[in-house]
A and B are shown apart, each in its own frame.
Chain A
Amino acid sequence: MKQGRRAIEVAKAVVLVTPVVLLLWMFNRYLALDGELTIEYDFNGESSYVSEFTPLGRAWDREENLRTGETYQRIVGEPVYMSVDVPWSFDEVEMTVEYQNRNQPFIQFGLVKTTDPWVVDLKPAEISAIDTALAEWDAVEEDGVTLLQKERSFETFGEFVTGFPEDASIGYYNYFPPHIYIDDTYEKQAEGTEINRLLRGPHSFATYVKDEPLKCEFTVTDINREEGEDPVSIGVVRDSTILHEELLNDDGVADASRDATGSRTMTIDIPELPEGMYTLVFHANNDIVIESIRCGQHKFVAISHLYLVNSEEYSDAFPEIDTSETILTFHGHKLSARTAHTEGIQTLFIDDQPLDVYAVDAPFWWEEGNASEYHELRVVKNDIQLDAPGFFAFEPEQAFNPLYGLRYVDETASANDFDYILVKEYTPPTKTTSYTYQSATFSLDGVEGDRKSLDFTIAAPGIARNQNELTIHNVSFTFTRDSLWERVKNKFSSDK
């Protein structure tokens, strides 16, 4: 009997003490006294800290496998966003995702740092071209850069840099090789480049210089469609170094009056430059329209982006606007076209293949397997933004590939496209028979606001148009900062 009473007392003590211990542990976790807070979300119901992936359409509603009881969310478009609200500010976060990948060759995880301007810190999650090369090719690592070779030709990375294989196809990711290609076939010509099509907003151009001055003249107009000042700068860049910068102040009209204030000219004139490719970075907002470009160089292409304006939509700013079609030479294997106005709804032709742009503010894609071909691109109505991992020339004679044998490893690349791949800061994901696991660490420095409301993203280019799919089963975030003890210590040491 006495034993029974004793057992009851012990059991009651356990019932009383357990919640207290649990509460203390919960407070320790919540307050992150040890400097760490881990939040996990398995898509089973709602979470206090984590939202499911949005927007709907790109991400489906949460689902449950009724046989196994597993919960998950399906991703069919990109990018998708997940909001995480934490009670305190932290310094760093590690995002770990458990997922199943159905044929998506390129995935990145990201953290939105600022919304205006839109800045996202993207980290690689899964790149199948590099994964294949890492598994099957020879690898040499130096200073964090991994050189992958289909056939082992170089013993060290240093050998690769000194004996750079200019004729080889080289893929790069997170690392651009410090090599300047010299085109032995290039000869300067008396006749340079003249472009009289209207181009809106920021652009980058590439040109080639050999035994000649780099002389370019940009005529620009401020159309004042948006609020704010519209300064312009043109930077001359070689091997990631700005050699020269030309500036033009705002026209003095800062409001959205839609008054075009006339043409102004910016001139770049650099007499002597070493031979090679140079980039002209035209930095401006969408109120600035380039009316014409005149350049002494005869090789001249726009890099990755072109915003063609010659349309009735802009007749208020340019009453005598030429609305005839634009015929471009395009080098690349995929292209997106987007218009902001109903006047821009049209059908483009890429080597006579039609690309229908049938809605405003939506990208329409064209894609082809071969990355190294030139195409004729016919833009019938203009008023369109073209984006591509490639180059646009206004005349076939002006076209050249400023990257030469280099190609960025993107979702359309496969290991077979390359002889070498240069990669930095990439660890392939861990794969089991059922799931893939990948982590990415983000610094929270530079995140706007109080760093308690964070937006994470999964970018999977091409997932919708190739009808690929990701199913996300679990996402966990480990936030870290100094422990309470370290913060107290730092406080007192900094006060001294």
Chain B
Amino acid sequence: MKTDIHKQIVFDLIPFTFRVLFIWYLVAVLLELLFHGLVSEVLSLDLFLWVVILLAVFSFGIEYYQRSQSK
């Protein structure tokens, strides 16, 4: 039962975090273009992108897993 809760949390949270961070990544790139150094002096945009890509991979993996389970 407890494992199901954890699974649900992970399955719900990862796609949500991916969507939020993907939008924020686009916002961050736009802001960096407008205000040079605003974002890049605080956090690495490259690292940010890798986190988004990693979340995307997990997110699509979860979606694929859920689809295959529902069949």
Interface residues in chain A, defined as those with a beta carbon under 8 Å from any beta carbon in chain B: 1, 3-4, 7-8, 11-12, 15-16, 19, 22-23, 26-27, 29-30, 39, 47-49, 87
Contact = CB atoms under 8 A, between A and B. Distances in A.
Interface in B23-38: 24, 27, 31, 35-38
A173 B18 CA distance: 61
B40 interface: yes
B9 A29 contact: no
A29 B42 CA distance: 9
A83 to B, nearest CB: 14
Contacts of B31: 23
The 8 A-B residue pairs with the shortest CB-CB distance in the complex, in nearest-first order: A48-B37, A4-B5, A30-B38, A19-B24, A48-B40, A15-B17, A8-B12, A15-B20
B5 A3 contact: yes
Given A15-B20, A29-B42, A87 B37 contact: yes
Interface string B4-18: 010011001100110
A15 B22 CA distance: 12
Contact of B20 (A4, A8, A19, A29): A19
B20 A87 contact: no
Nearest to B13: A11
Nearest to B2: A4
Interface string B30-61: 01000111111111000000000000000000
Contacts of B12: 8
Given A15-B21, A27-B38, 15 more contacts: A1-B5, A4-B9, A8-B8, A8-B9, A11-B9, A11-B13, A15-B20, A22-B42, A22-B43, A23-B27, A23-B31, A29-B42, A30-B37, A49-B41, A87-B37
A3 B54 CA distance: 28
Determine the main DSSP class of B at the interface with A: helix
B48 to A, nearest CB: 10
Contact of B13 (A12, A29, A48, A49): A12
A30 B9 contact: no
B42 A26 contact: yes
Contacts of B27: 23
B11 to A, nearest CB: 10
A7 B4 CA distance: 13
A46 to B, nearest CB: 9
B13 A87 contact: no
Nearest to A29: B42
Nearest to B40: A48
A11 B12 CA distance: 10
A487 to B, nearest CB: 20
A12 B20 CA distance: 9
A12 B35 CA distance: 28
Contact of B8 (A4, A29, A30): A4
Nearest to A11: B13
A381 to B, nearest CB: 53
Given A15-B16, A15-B20, A19-B20, A26 B9 contact: no
Contacts of A19: 20-21, 24
A26 B38 contact: yes
A8 B14 CA distance: 11
A87 B36 contact: yes
A49 B8 contact: no
9 contacts: A1-B5, A4-B5, A7-B5, A8-B8, A19-B20, A23-B31, A27-B38, A29-B41, A48-B36
A30 B21 CA distance: 21
A126 to B, nearest CB: 29
B37 A8 contact: no
Contacts of A39: 41
Contacts of B17: 15
A47 B41 contact: yes
Nearest to A87: B37
Contacts of A15: 13, 16-17, 20-21
Contacts of A1: 5
A4 B4 CA distance: 9
